[in-house]
Structure 1
Amino acid sequence: MTTALTPSTSSQPEIRNAYRWMVLLLCWFSFTMTSVDRSTWGPSSVFVGESLAIPLASLGIFATTYYIGYVVSNAAGGFLTDKIGGRLLITVSMIGAGIFMMVFGSTTSAVVGIAIQGVVGFFAGADYAAGIKLLSSWFRPEELGKVMGIFTSATSLGVVIANFAVPFLIAHSGWGASYHLFGAASVVSGILCWIILRPGPVAAIAANAAGSAKRPSAWRILSGNRNLLLVGLAGFGGFWGTYGFVIWSNALMIKGHGVAPATAGIIVAVFAALGVFGKPIIGFVADRFNGARRVPSIIVLGGFAVMLIIFGTLDSVPAFLIAAPLLGLTAYCYLPMIVALIPRLVSSDMVGTAAGLTNAIWQLGSVLVPIAVGGVFAASNNSFMAALGALAVGPLIGMVAMFFVNERPDEVKVIVKTEA
């Protein structure tokens, strides 16, 4: 049966409470690994290009192909998560992505490499919706600010790990070593998820929903929910700026300002490190202020656009190192806010689908921005400022979209499912 607004009954609540943090840890670790996998391209791209005889302006096709697979996987993976559960999908996601990461590390063909990147993205994309589904089943909506802050810190930590480790691995073992190492770690993560993860008891459902109600189509869920569409647009703009910077910043600093590859990696790692700490903090603070999501998102996205413009005016390593932490703080801290909004906007049986669909829209920014920035950089005679200005357009659009979001729609209420 279901009981409104009452805690789940359990003979051993302390064990359940402890276990849900294990769920968070495993979801976070898996998301970290897929983030490391995709972030490996930034510091390795120049070397892959040299190895496969690909010009700089064309390197964006690899990242774009990865994100095409990622978007398709998110759109389909969210629906599959609601149908078959997060445990199975996160396992398949991690093992598949890991295997094809290792395959990419041994490729000698540009065409084959581009295709493999698409496959890696396809497997990796399902991880996100599966994680959101599992976490929203173990934590109440009023706790999701800090939970999603911790969970989404994985995307920042992945950039930090990749930008510290990949230049070192390239210097000592070649660019393929990082793909082999991180791919193997992803496979191990998938195996652990299958062994340990289980779904939880918490649910948020529509007040008039019945257990046997017909499931609406994914398109109807998205097109019929104005707030979900606006959050999708806001995330699109944010990801345009965040992942555009992650994908291109190393190459832009190396080719545009003569920064050494290892130094460029350190700058990007510093940039991402602030997101690792900033996401949980802003999520915790937002939870304390009655679960606020909209206003913090607006402030952070606006600051992100400003910091990208400022970063584009810089031309020295010391200046980059000073600006990188501030840029990183704004580039990542909107994410836990918009992720934590999703379970508020849809019923519990649609959380995976909604998470996958919105992330697919967000990742379209990641699909389009690599080629767009490469084209702007080439057309502007390798202008660093022009490339960063193109990135700033994204978060500006996201900030405007969040102005129109209603973060507390009336049609959803919180209940907890308990066994009779």
Structure 2
Amino acid sequence: METLRTGAAANACTDTASITETKPPAYRWVVLFVVWIAFLLSYVDRVAWSTVAAPVGHSLGISVALLGAFVTAFYVGYVLANITGGLITDTIGGKRTLVWAMIPLGIATFGFSFTRNLTVGFAVQFVMGIAAGADYSAGVKIITAWFGKDRGRAIGLYSTATSLALVIANAIVPSLATAFSWQTAFRALGAVTFAWAIVCVLLLRDSPLKALSVRISRREIGELVKNRNLVLLAFAGCGALWATVGFGAWGNALMTKQYGIAPVVAGSISALFGVGAVIAKPLLGWGSDLLRGRTKLLAIGVLLCFSAMLLVFAQCSTVLQFYLVAPFLGAVAFGYTPVLIAQVTQASGVKFAGAAAGLTNAVWQSGSAIAPIAVGQVYASTHSFFMALLTLAVGPVCGAVLLIFVNLRKAPAINDSTMRSDSTPAVASN
């Protein structure tokens, strides 16, 4: 039986080699679009609360210190789900994993509209996090299988979903809440998310070829966990996401609480924050493809700029100043993600791209889970806009220091030869 499986995998790899050596399949752009929209909707669902936290939190009787509790609840569930989500992705395939993440996420987002107190909201957001926990690793797995050595630019485009989600959430959710109600906004998001799961069923494919599903052994999981580069990248990303998600959760509320800026205006400022990120991500992802061997330096530079821009933003006090700084802060607050993801897939190889993405993202998102509560406590005790952002700025600096010790020279590079040898067995068939 093992011989048959090996032989079948070898034949599939030969076919993959011929595809790689000829013209890449055009359908990969359709695949990228489908997983991109799925990731965008997932992120809109998770940041929607942040856009209405200040006014709605008051109506629900939630204190300032606990406004970030719902975000933390989401990310606690998200971290737990990521631990197994990547392994599931490498076992049953990205398509099935993504579909089974989107369906319950749509239902839970719709259900959040019935929240009446902190306890219920916390529980529903936790469920939303569990449901969304595998979308990221599934997307990275599918993109790596379809794009191979060109994954940097593809991941750069894929990761713009989180930035554009901030623009959409800040532009639409507060307006819907004002015109109708915040409950209507969440019900609309839930319905659209569920509908896109159906689109994934109809259009998404795991790879250019029908391939064998390979279950990852315990020994291989152990090797991933012990991979020094992956460990360093995991904790570096944790420091970076600490600041990104912490700012996403508190940026609007801080501007509203500290300077009396209207929620709709604060939302438009955060929308510019997202615009800067949308522009920077594909450019930096493309740069990671061009700067092979020097990607680490690019990531370090972006993280240090992120910390610096947080401190610049902390010195702002007028709407005009916030408008001017927001796009530049957004560019570095999200721009590092395609660069780090590309390094993760290089450190793991294509075969374990899903598991590596899931496991590292679980560590990354632990920073996301802690930051909103930590910043809330700092602001509640100091009432200082600067101290809240200084708390966030520490994370990217720590991440940059950890990246200094990453060495990917001996890592399994994702190139044509890699695609021939191990990419196809790693993906499940439709």
TM-score, normalised with respect to structure 1: 0.92
Local SS of the residue matching 1:349? coil
CA–CA separation in structure 1 for the residues paired with 2:31 and 2:155: 13
8 Å contact 2:76–2:126 — kept in the other structure?
A: yes
The aligned amino acid for 1:250 is N
Give the Å deviation of 1:184: 1.0
In structure 2, do the counterparts of structure 1 residues 296 and 269 end up closer, same or farther at CA, with 3 Å as the change threshold? same
CA–CA separation in structure 2 for the residues paired with 1:218 and 1:175: 46
CA–CA separation in structure 2 for the residues paired with 1:122 and 1:334: 25
CA–CA separation in structure 1 for the residues paired with 2:238 and 2:153: 22
Give the one of 169, 177, 185 matched to 2:176. 169
Give the one of 137, 152, 166 matched to 2:159. 152
CA–CA separation in structure 2 for the residues paired with 1:218 and 1:172: 53
Give the Å deviation of 1:46: 1.5
Match of 2:3 in 1: none
Match of 1:205 in 2: none
CA–CA separation in structure 2 for the residues paired with 1:390 and 1:276: 25
RMSD (Å) for aligned C-alpha atoms: 2.4
User: 1:285-324 alignment to 2 at 5 Å?
Assistant: 285-290=287-292, 292-324=294-326
Match of 1:325 in 2: 327
Match of 2:397 in 1: 396
Match of 1:118 in 2: 126
Match of 1:8 in 2: 17
The aligned amino acid for 1:309 is L
Q: Which moved more, 1:214-223 or 1:170-179?
A: 214-223
Q: Deviations over 1:78-109 (max 9, x none)?
A: 11111111111100111111110000012223
In structure 2, do the counterparts of structure 1 residues 19 and 55 end up closer, same or farther at CA, with 3 Å as the change threshold? same
- What percent identity do the matched residue pairs reach? 40
Give the Å deviation of 1:334: 0.4
Q: Deviations over 1:194-233 (max 9, x none)?
A: 111122159xxxxxxxx99972357623431010011101
CA–CA separation in structure 2 for the residues paired with 1:128 and 1:212: 20
Give the one of 359, 364, 370 matched to 1:368. 370
Give the one of 270, 274, 287 matched to 1:272. 274
8 Å contact 2:349–2:412 — kept in the other structure?
A: no
Match of 1:386 in 2: 387
User: 1:41-190 alignment to 2 at 5 Å?
Assistant: 41-140=49-148, 142-190=149-197
The aligned amino acid for 1:24 is L
The aligned amino acid for 2:345 is P
8 Å contact 2:350–2:419 — kept in the other structure?
A: no
8 Å contact 1:308–1:388 — kept in the other structure?
A: yes
Q: Deviations over 1:95-145 (max 9, x none)?
A: 1111100000122232111100000011112100111111111111x2111
Match of 1:407 in 2: 408
Local SS of the residue matching 1:415? helix
Q: Does 1:29 align with 2:37?
A: yes
8 Å contact 1:78–1:130 — kept in the other structure?
A: yes
The aligned amino acid for 1:198 is R
User: 1:212-227 alignment to 2 at 5 Å?
Assistant: 215-217=217-219, 220-227=222-229
Q: Deviations over 1:20-66 (max 9, x none)?
A: 11111111110000111111111111133123111111111111111
8 Å contact 2:230–2:360 — kept in the other structure?
A: yes
8 Å contact 1:240–1:366 — kept in the other structure?
A: yes
In structure 2, do the counterparts of structure 1 residues 69 and 256 end up closer, same or farther at CA, with 3 Å as the change threshold? same
CA–CA separation in structure 1 for the residues paired with 2:305 and 2:121: 36
In structure 2, do the counterparts of structure 1 residues 358 and 160 end up closer, same or farther at CA, with 3 Å as the change threshold? same
Local SS of the residue matching 1:18? coil
User: 1:184-223 alignment to 2 at 5 Å?
Assistant: 184-200=191-207, 215-217=217-219, 220-223=222-225
CA–CA separation in structure 2 for the residues paired with 1:45 and 1:234: 29
The aligned amino acid for 2:194 is V
8 Å contact 2:82–2:134 — kept in the other structure?
A: yes
8 Å contact 1:267–1:320 — kept in the other structure?
A: yes
Local SS of the residue matching 1:17? coil
CA–CA separation in structure 2 for the residues paired with 1:214 and 1:38: 30
Give the Å deviation of 1:292: 4.0
TM-score, normalised with respect to structure 2: 0.90
Give the Å deviation of 1:411: 5.2
Give the Å deviation of 1:2: 6.0
CA–CA separation in structure 1 for the residues paired with 2:409 and 2:232: 14
Q: Deviations over 1:159-182 (max 9, x none)?
A: 110001111111101111221111
8 Å contact 1:2–1:415 — kept in the other structure?
A: no
**Structure 1: 5+ residue runs without aligned partners?**
203-210
The aligned amino acid for 1:393 is V
Give the one of 13, 17, 31 matched to 2:25. 17
8 Å contact 1:344–1:408 — kept in the other structure?
A: no
Q: Which moved more, 1:401-410 or 1:323-332?
A: 401-410
